[in-house]
Amino acid sequence: KNQRRSVSIDNKYSLRKTRKNEDGIVSHEKIEEEYYRKLEYRCESIYTAAEANCRKIFDTSYDRCREAVSSVASWALCWPMKLTVVCNTAAIVGDEKNCDPKSEISSGWGYGYEYLIKAKKEMFKDFQHAEITYKIRKPNITLDLRTADDTAQAIMKEFERKKDFIDLVLLFIKRLMALAFIKIILSANSYHTNYLTDIKFSNFYITKYFKKIDARRHKHGKHTLLPLKKIEKTFFVDPAQCKLTRKELKQTMGNCIKIFIEMLTATTIILIDQLFYETLDLVRRHSKMEYYQSGIHDMIVNVKGTGMVASMIRSVVEDFNFKRKLNETLSNAECLPVPSSLKTSHLKRIYIMYCILFAMVIFQGYAERLMRFFCASFYPKHEKRRVLFLYNDTLKRRISYFKYKLARVKRKVQENKLSQDGNIVLKLRLKYPGLLGWLIYFDIAKRKCLICGDLESRRQIINDRELHKCPVCSYIFCLECWNDADETCIVCHPKSASDDESIDDGKEDDEIAY
């Protein structure tokens, strides 16, 4: 029966051929018929499903009835469950127009659907052949234009290139410094060789043996060297004294000045670095800018119209509607410089190293004394020969120098060219010591020794015993020259200098004279 109804429906709507208009679109009659047929099929399927469910219920009830009663009674009691004819609802209703949709749907709706298909086709056709007109604006290209990013990259590349060069130089210096101990060994060997072969090499120290020789000569009433003359003090070094001599001090001060200049250069670089840091930090603190933007962005597309096309377009473009809240904060903090200052620990290391260098330079003044001391400890006999040579050579030089000065004064006495100092400032100081005694601070108001020509010192003026004034001729002699002249005024009693000064041979110490 169901198949018969399906065939009847197909025959009902297959009598007409499918007709299309000039645009190739199915006509509205065919659209309506296809829709009616689908609706009628659905209606018939409802009747068919109801009939099937009814038959199933009757069959289930019949089975339960037979299980509940005996087989004899089941024939009499359960036979009504076999009356499935009541399930033929279509036959019961008996009207084929119940599933006819034409009575429920108004006619003419096919025209609107046909027009909708036509509009859809035209829309796709328009989208397929859409033409977009655009114009590309070419910006003016500026030659040799460098952006901030290009400049930063160029600076970093240049900095890295310089850094690689500095690293190479530092590596080379480290390799040379690693070989510095070779120079130390060579210098020590050179000092050792010169100490043994050259008796004048580094031989200017007033050692204990030197003082012992001088004390022995003083005991025997011979001419001594100690205390040294003013002119001799610049050439001799007393290892027992912490004070550096003029020669050692000159060398030490020269090295200290070099280190100070280097330290000044490093300090200048540190100050320039600090200046750069302060400048960049000032830019960072005062150039920070923040922009706060808030608001609501709404986009609503309204499609006016009540037809099918308007509804379709409205359903397409409704997704373009949006409502957005804007709450953004923009800042240039990432573009600002982030400088870092030199750490205090690095500054401490730099200046501690310079302090160590200053200490090493000052200690260098005592290093030669230690080298002589070590050599003297290993070669005591050779050291005594060196000291004996130094003493005798200095004694000869002093005698020769004194003879020269004495001869010069005697020549002036014989030629009557020796005259008293006519300095008016000196005469005023000597005549009015209480009023003009302060003139002693000026060299023009100082007296000088007749023999050596040294000016009197403030200590000699206070302690008048260190100066000797001849009561006859009123000439001034320093205590050293007065003793060398055998306490005799060479102006009043001219005589030849003694040439019988003996030379110490060191025999009392079982040493051979050099």
pLDDT tens figures, 181-203: 788 888 889 999 999 999 999 89
211 lies in the same domain as 198: yes
Mean pLDDT computed over 219-236: 81
Mean pLDDT computed over 480-504: 64
CA distance 217 to 223: 7
Q: Decide if 360 is inside a domain.
A: no
User: Does residue 45 or residue 512 have the better pLDDT?
Assistant: 45
58 lies in the same domain as 158: no
What pLDDT is recorded for position 102? Answer: 74
User: Does residue 313 or residue 417 have the better pLDDT?
Assistant: 313
Percent of the chain predicted with pLDDT > 90: 14
C-alpha atoms less than 13 angstroms from C-alpha of 163 in its C-beta half-sphere: 6
What pLDDT is recorded for position 513? Answer: 40
Please check the confidence at residue 81 and state whether its pLDDT lies above 60: yes
What pLDDT is recorded for position 193? Answer: 92
Lowest mean pLDDT among 97-101, 169-173, 254-258: 97-101
pLDDT tens figures, 471-489: 777 677 777 777 777 777 7
Task: Pick the closest to residue 445 from 464, 428, 470, 468 (CA basis).
Answer: 428
pLDDT tens figures, 262-281: 999 999 999 999 999 999 88
- Domain enclosing residue 98, as ranges: 2-128
Q: Decide if 396 is inside a domain.
A: yes
Please check the confidence at residue 396 and state whether its pLDDT lies above 70: yes
Q: Decide if 143 is inside a domain.
A: no
10 lies in the same domain as 40: yes
Please check the confidence at residue 369 and state whether its pLDDT lies above 80: yes
In the structure, what pLDDT confidence band is assigned to residue 417 with cuts at 50, 70 and 90? low
Total number of domains constituting the chain: 5
Mean pLDDT of the chain: 77
CA distance 222 to 353: 53
**Residue in this structure with the two tokens 């209480």, named with its chain if needed:** 434
Domain final residue, candidates 95, 128, 161: 128
**Residue in this structure with the two tokens 């065939």, named with its chain if needed:** 7
In the structure, what pLDDT confidence band is assigned to residue 496 with cuts at 50, 70 and 90? very low
pLDDT tens figures, 312-354: 777 777 777 778 888 888 888 877 888 888 889 999 999 999 9
Please check the confidence at residue 462 and state whether its pLDDT lies above 80: no
Please check the confidence at residue 286 and state whether its pLDDT lies above 70: yes
314 lies in the same domain as 325: yes
pLDDT tens figures, 148-183: 677 778 888 888 898 899 999 988 888 887 787 788
Q: How far, in Å, are 39, 89, 382, 506 from residue 214 at the CA level? A: 148, 159, 19, 11
221 lies in the same domain as 298: no
CA distance 456 to 230: 12
CB 62 within 8 Å of CB 147: no
What pLDDT is recorded for position 435? Answer: 82
CB 487 within 8 Å of CB 364: no
Domain final residue, candidates 67, 97, 128: 128
* Cβ-based neighbours of 236, under 8 Å, separated by 6 or more: 204, 205, 206, 228, 245
Q: Decide if 118 is inside a domain.
A: yes
**Residue in this structure with the two tokens 């000597």, named with its chain if needed:** 430
Q: Decide if 93 is inside a domain.
A: yes
Mean pLDDT computed over 61-79: 74
In the structure, what pLDDT confidence band is assigned to residue 500 with cuts at 50, 70 and 90? very low
15 lies in the same domain as 119: yes
Mean pLDDT computed over 251-258: 89
What pLDDT is recorded for position 310? Answer: 73
User: Does residue 246 or residue 415 have the better pLDDT?
Assistant: 246
Q: Decide if 387 is inside a domain.
A: yes
324 lies in the same domain as 385: no
CA distance 227 to 478: 13
Around Cβ 387, how many Cβ atoms within 10 Å?
Answer: 24
170 lies in the same domain as 232: no
What pLDDT is recorded for position 269? Answer: 92
Q: Decide if 270 is inside a domain.
A: no
Please check the confidence at residue 514 and state whether its pLDDT lies above 50: no
* Cβ-based neighbours of 471, under 8 Å, separated by 6 or more: none
124 lies in the same domain as 33: yes
96 lies in the same domain as 156: no
Q: Decide if 60 is inside a domain.
A: yes
In the structure, what pLDDT confidence band is assigned to residue 234 with cuts at 50, 70 and 90? confident
Q: Write the DSSP assignment of 28-65 as a string of letters.
A: HHHHHHHHHHHHHHHHHHHHHHHHHHHHHHHHHHHHHH
Please check the confidence at residue 284 and state whether its pLDDT lies above 50: yes
In the structure, what pLDDT confidence band is assigned to residue 218 with cuts at 50, 70 and 90? confident
172 lies in the same domain as 183: no
13 lies in the same domain as 80: yes
